[in-house]
Amino acid sequence: MPETRTLSLAEIEDLSLHALMAAGTSEDNARPLAVATAATEADGVASHGLAYIPIYCEHVQCGKVDGRAQPVMSVPKPGVVVVDAATGFAHPAIDLGFDALIPAAREQGIAALAIRNSYNCGVLGYHTYRLAQAGLVGLGFTNAPASIAPSGGSRPVVGTNPFSLAVPGADGQPAVLIDQSASTIAKSEVMKHAREGKPIPVGWALDPDGNPTTDPAVGLKGSMAPSGGYKGVGVALLTEVMAAALTGATLGIHASPFSGTVGGPPKTGQFFIAIDPGATAGSGFSANIAELVEAIRYQEGARLPGDGRRAKRLQASQDGVGVSVATLDKIHAILA
């Protein structure tokens, strides 16, 4: 069992902030990413939390991401917000876009945000969560470097390409939070197993010939297994259209990897749709969502998407989070 150390969420945010800045990231760009890292750890998604800080720092230093980029926003049409991330981190670009997206959705009932020339946005559900907190139904898409082969093929053409849906609840928290990739498991989990020298379960990844493998290193040379077979490929294609084609970002087949130092900026994209439920459903929306949620929670043992993260988030705010000592050592080396 790996050794861990308990840190508060404030300590995680502070550690992330200073490591990113030490690597050459401006404070304006580092802070949104540090806040998201703490929130990700609180939600129990350790693979996208502090473990990613050394990778982010390495990518700033090698030029895969511009730590001092200044995203540029435009509003080409009413209800459409566009942000060019300028090969910088996705988080400050999303923050800038949300500042215009949220009021536009409240004013017009629906609005969209397209982000191009971006980078790994971390946990997509973190961003749609914020739209639900604002009382809006948030739908998000983000594309990634190609790692999923088409049905019947063996050469990757689309990324794990997550989508997320966050539905506002009566308590200011999402009533439903769906955040899932088009692959059976996130690629970061396979990478984590490879770093730790652990085998992966059958069904996570395929070798270069399209056969199942339990060796994470072989899986990383092949392709990720799509969730639900051809249906997972369909979800990945849907997300590729939304997050790359509709934003003017780089297709996954041309994007450099999110891991390692090979290649320049990936220039991938994100796409968000924010909807004011009062504009489309009136007062009946909240009642319908409450009834839907109750129909799931009424069943013993049934789980609602987002419940697990909510429970961990509440516990983490009080008790902190157990963080890998090996990860902390890597981050402290950056600060040294």
Closest CA to 266 of 116, 79, 67: 116
Tokens of 31: 């802070």
The catalytic residue positions are: 47-48, 189
If you write DSSP's letter for every residue of 91-128 in order, what string do you get? Answer: HHHHHHHHHHHHHHHHHHSEEEEEEEEE---S-HHHHH
Q: Are the C-beta atoms of residues 331 and 15 closer than 8 Å to each other? A: yes
CA-to-CA distance for 225 and 328, rounded, in angstroms?
31
Alpha helices in 184-229 (DSSP H): 187-196, 216-221
Closest CA to 214 of 194, 196, 188, 184: 194
Do the strands 212-213 and 174-180 form a parallel or antiparallel pair, or are they unpaired? Answer: unpaired
CA-to-CA distance for 200 and 195, rounded, in angstroms?
12
